[in-house]
Structure 1
């Protein structure tokens, strides 16, 4: 039996490839499915099953395209009701993949259909658990997502189900089982996930707060719900795409990979309601960008911030990327359901600049310049980090408007007085700067290097408080 984790860092997502005797299975695939097909072909294997642990919220799964291209069967756990052909497994139903077996164990809690898959090798030994969002390394899946799709599934009800699933279905299993979760640190599907992406069940029983054997149901629910932040707005929309179906990734790529000259790009921008999305790095964006474009850099949590800040997943999008990054950008948009890229600027921003067309810039200052301004002018400062980051340590006198809520707080940002923006390192504040610039603000500067750079100066800050005390 061969089991491989295929990890995608920008989404903190893990898919899994299982192969035995020329048959293969894929668990929780991403939208672009060719890498899984290529992996199976490398082994000379046929993909027999696509196993889904649940209807995902943070990404659009590749189950439909993968099944269509390989004739594999899609498998969900009990209670799942997809709008397409799929096998709905019974609790403890066993599937054969070559000489090994996969047993579906219904573990509701994160969602009602959530299912863990036990991997049993060719010798009949129980090897590991593909746990989806039921059990992470250091954490368990948040129980508040399904209620955004089904209102009467409250987070308290789901947390109670998860308590039972963990204690009755998973904790009694052998300590030497390997845990293979769907996500690692950085995912919004949990709150305290480890950077490690696998572990033994025995270690998790010792170190995972949610698996403490002496926890009562009430204690579990309280600890699980404490500190949960509002989930990104695109999560329910991704759930519905995963339930109802979606357009093939091939069609999405074909539409998005339309190359446009500067003149064509300008015409399309003027004749449609398309959003101009610039995925270059912050340093490059700051020194020149197309008016009204938004910067969300591809080099960080691109898909997450697209989902947070672009409310309509059907929004038409025109792309400005680094040369050679066009397909990657379209693909990463499609991973979270943004399928309506309608073209990109051929040659990138350089083409726009060389055509002599108007462009904008964002003024940036160094941390040292900020320190001097802070001492002499008492400037208005907006910190766009998360509330927990701001609460743990911030510049005295700064106001906190987290980036994910900036559109709801625009009235608090002055247009008649100068102000300064910063985040942790510069990525999020440049996104904020581009949004403000698009909305008509021009009376601000951004701190290059953000709070990390400012903290090396003598600007007064609040005392550091361990973030764990803020949960």
Structure 2
């Protein structure tokens, strides 16, 4: 037996290939949008992919389960509660299947979603590992507030939090302490608050070290779990529905994105996502363009600022970056919204002014300061007293709330988000100077210190 973990660092996503070496057969668990790494793994081991197991319809990325099944003939196994729109076999409490000497047993573990399942892997009757999806993570549990308006089944966050309490304690924690825990996400995912950077754990280690699993009453668990959850990106509900239906094949869908010639005009009224470095963007860009820079968590911020129903143009500094960004957009199913992709900006008519940081430091009261960090970040570490907090994912809708009686300074925690934020605010407040504090924010002491 061999368990191979695949990591997508941008989305903090883990997927798995479980190889039965005697049967030369593979079971995939929660595969990412690009199926090629799994095909490569199968070829390298002379094995066939015979099953694809989805622990739930994912909100933060698009899975390739349907594409893989159509190419390889593998059986997709999901909970019947998911209401899948593609051929599949039910995988719920009491269900199991065998590959070689390996057996996969279903546990319904609702809480992160109503249709979540965990898969217990056993060999020769001995439990070896459990693939927990987003139910049990390393040092945390999945968030319960993503399925109030999406999916075949919906539930209020309080109800899901209660289900999660019982799924962890009555099901997962009854497994032996030496059973390995393989989650679908690690630190940095918006599906939880975990900061644990490990790639796997054991049931015993989680019992000891996971704060969400310490002795708590159900009500205390619910209250603690619902407090200070991260924001919900705009694309999450869209991805749940796309995964429920099954996404189009990755390669053909990426290749259909139109590539624009340098002299091609951009259609008026269509959003422009300019992914060039912020210094280039500030020197000149298409009026109204949004500066979501390449690198970082581009796909997360793309899907947090722009809704899944909105078309957009995608601009990048060079061809290699442009290709990579189209692929990143495809991870969240946004490649179909790209109206055209091109290198460079067709216009430099708009620009953003440079902030005199020394003058701002001397008299911050002469500016309207907009803090675009998440509310929990501001609560934990306020930087400027009296700053107006509008989180970046809400900024396009709420920019008109910003007073225009003073110049505006936009800041985040390190500069990446404020580049995007200032590009959102500037065209929304014509006639008002809008500045990006950028990385200089790191030189300011938190308020009250």
Query: Does the Cα contact within 8 Å between 2:149 and 2:237 map onto a contact in 1?
Result: yes
Matched, 1:318 2:307: no
Do the aligned partners of residues 281 and 129 (structure 1) sit closer, same or farther apart at CA in structure 2, a change above 3 Å counting?
A: farther
Pairs aligned (count): 442
When structure 1 is superposed on structure 2, of 358-367 and 162-171 the one drifting more is 358-367
2:46 and 2:155 map into 1 onto residues whose CA distance is 44
Partner of 1:261: 261
Q: TM-score, normalised by structure 2?
A: 0.92
Partner of 2:375: 387
Do the aligned partners of residues 229 and 424 (structure 1) sit closer, same or farther apart at CA in structure 2, a change above 3 Å counting?
A: closer
Partner of 1:91: 93
2:448 and 2:410 map into 1 onto residues whose CA distance is 21
Q: Which runs of 5+ in 1 are unaligned?
A: 456-460, 465-471
**Deviation of 1:223 (Å):** 1.9
When structure 1 is superposed on structure 2, of 218-227 and 83-92 the one drifting more is 218-227
When structure 1 is superposed on structure 2, of 176-185 and 227-236 the one drifting more is 227-236
Partner of 2:351: 361
1:175 and 1:369 map into 2 onto residues whose CA distance is 59
Query: Does the Cα contact within 8 Å between 2:183 and 2:200 map onto a contact in 1?
Result: yes
Q: What SS does the aligned partner of 1:112 have?
A: coil
Partner of 1:397: 386
Partner of 2:270: 274
Selected match of 1:371 from 326, 339, 361: 361
1:246 and 1:90 map into 2 onto residues whose CA distance is 23
1:342 and 1:52 map into 2 onto residues whose CA distance is 31
Do the aligned partners of residues 450 and 75 (structure 1) sit closer, same or farther apart at CA in structure 2, a change above 3 Å counting?
A: farther
Partner of 1:109: 111
Q: TM-score, normalised by structure 1?
A: 0.88
Query: Does the Cα contact within 8 Å between 2:366 and 2:407 map onto a contact in 1?
Result: no
Provide Cα deviations, 1:28-67, integer angstroms capped at 9, x if missing partner. Answer: 1111111221121111211111110001111111111111
Q: What SS does the aligned partner of 1:48 have?
A: strand
Do the aligned partners of residues 152 and 248 (structure 1) sit closer, same or farther apart at CA in structure 2, a change above 3 Å counting?
A: closer
Query: Does the Cα contact within 8 Å between 1:28 and 1:53 map onto a contact in 2?
Result: yes
Partner of 2:183: 181
Partner of 2:141: 140
Provide Cα deviations, 1:82-103, integer angstroms capped at 9, x if missing partner. Answer: 0110111231422223332222
Q: What SS does the aligned partner of 1:116 have?
A: strand
Query: Does the Cα contact within 8 Å between 1:92 and 1:106 map onto a contact in 2?
Result: no
Partner of 1:126: 127
Query: Does the Cα contact within 8 Å between 1:178 and 1:201 map onto a contact in 2?
Result: yes
2:434 and 2:105 map into 1 onto residues whose CA distance is 58
Selected match of 2:398 from 392, 409, 423: 409
Partner of 2:57: 55
**Deviation of 1:415 (Å):** 4.0
Provide Cα deviations, 1:102-147, integer angstroms capped at 9, x if missing partner. Answer: 22222122222211111224x4432211100110111111222222
**Deviation of 1:369 (Å):** 5.0
**Deviation of 1:230 (Å):** 4.3
